[in-house]
């Protein structure tokens, strides 16, 4: 329900527009990072790990820059109602984006360890691959829902995250079976668990972003509420 009407102060409009653009820019970067990490996992292109680690620095810088802008908008404009919710929501969204960036780095480093130890994650490939694509899809949809302030899509992301959680648990069960059957797979399995856990967390961050979109648009705080109540 963001109003289309303009602020009397056009610079306030510009400030808020820039804030949203920056979040989308940061989100786009995180999305690219996640995609690159998944790619490294399936292709074994360990060379891209360094680029992912470097890219995360840029994500961190954007988080600080956007938070700084939020502080300046609050100090200068004293935003209220939907403007206030946007600024507060953005400040939380960038925290989740930054953390999703950290998880991506964990995936990349895990991939490098597996390949450097001369192993191939291939035997677990499809499961983790599928999980990763589902999480990436959640990040995309969460950012889309923010760009369009679309609560329907945001709600969809929150629902879909449950599927990611279920899939993650199933992968863990598979890995435990593998480790029991053949203890030589333990080292690789632990790395893959780390990776799967990171992917599952990325899904959670996408869900958190969607919850903020609902707060920004409707003023409802649906965090920590059981699914049925949402």
Partner 1 sequence: MQIQENPALKAEARNLSFFYGNTQALKGINMPIHDKKVTALIGPSGCGKSTYLRSFNRMHDLYPGNRYEGEIRFFPDNTNLLSPEVDPIEVRMRIGMVFQKPNPFPKTIYENVAYGLRVRGERNKRTLDDKVEHALRGAAIWDEVKDRLQDLAPNLSGGQQQRLCIARALATDPELLLFDEPTSALDPIATGAIEELVHELKKRVTILIVTHNMQQAARVSDYTAYMYLGEMIEFGKTDEIFLKPNDKRTEDYITGRMG
Task: State the residues that interact with partner 1 by CB under 8 A.
Answer: 1, 3, 5-9, 12, 77-85, 218-219
| Shorter beta-carbon distance to partner 1: residue 85 or 205 | 85
Q: What is the DSSP string of 128-170?
A: HHHHHHHHHHHHHHHHHHHHHT-HHHHHHHHHHHHHHHHHHHH
Give least dist CB 219 to partner 1, A. 3
User: How does DSSP classify residue 119?
Assistant: -
Considering the complex, what minimum distance in angstroms separates the CB of residue 12 from partner 1?
7
91 vs 141 by CB, closer to partner 1: 91
In the complex with partner 1, the residue whose CB is nearer, 51 or 84, is: 84
Q: Residue 11 CB, nearest distance to partner 1 (Å)?
A: 11
Q: Are 200 and 168 within 8 A, CB to CB?
A: yes
Which lies closer to partner 1 via its Cβ, residue 20 or residue 106?
Answer: 20
Smallest gap, in angstroms, from Cβ of residue 77 to partner 1?
8
Can you read off the two tokens belonging to residue 159? 């629902």
Q: 220 vs 230, which CB is nearer to partner 1?
A: 220
DSSP state of 184: G
Q: Tell me the CB-side half-sphere exposure of residue 36, using CA atoms within 13 A.
A: 25
Q: At what angle do helices 186-218 and 151-181 cross, to 10 degrees?
A: 170
Q: How far is the CB of 82 from partner 1 (least distance, A)?
A: 6
Nearer to partner 1, 41 or 215 (CB): 215
DSSP annotation of 5 reads S
Q: List the structure tokens of 21.
A: 């653009």
Question: For 78, left (φ over 0), alpha (ψ -120 to 50), or beta?
Answer: left
- Rounded to a whole number of angstroms, the minimum distance from the CB of residue 4 to partner 1 is 9
Three-state DSSP class for residue 121: helix
């Amino acid at each position: 329900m963001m109003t289309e009407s303009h602020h009397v102060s056009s610079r306030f409009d510009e400030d808020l527009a820039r804030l949203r653009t920056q979040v989308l820019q940061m989100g786009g970067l995180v999305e690219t990072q996640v995609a690159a990490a998944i790619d490294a996992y399936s292709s074994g292109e360990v060379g891209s790990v360094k680029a992912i680690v470097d890219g995360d620095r840029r994500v961190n810088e954007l988080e600080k820059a956007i938070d700084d802008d939020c502080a300046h908008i609050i100090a200068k404009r004293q935003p209220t109602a939907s403007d206030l919710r946007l600024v507060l929501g953005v400040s939380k969204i960038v925290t989740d984006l930054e953390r999703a960036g950290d998880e991506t780095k964990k995936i990349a480093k895990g991939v490098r360890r597996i390949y450097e130890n001369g192993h191939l994650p291939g035997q677990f490939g499809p499961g983790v691959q599928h999980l990763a694509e589902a999480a990436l899809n959640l990040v995309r949809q969460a950012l889309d829902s923010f760009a369009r302030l679309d609560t329907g899509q945001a709600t969809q992301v929150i629902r879909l995250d449950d599927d990611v959680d279920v899939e993650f648990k199933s992968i863990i069960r598979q890995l435990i079976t593998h480790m029991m059957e053949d203890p030589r797979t333990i080292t690789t399995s632990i790395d893959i668990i780390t990776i799967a856990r990171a992917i599952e967390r990325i899904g959670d961050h996408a869900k958190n972003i969607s919850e903020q979109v609902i707060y920004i648009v409707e003023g409802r705080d649906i965090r920590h509420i059981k699914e049925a109540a949402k």
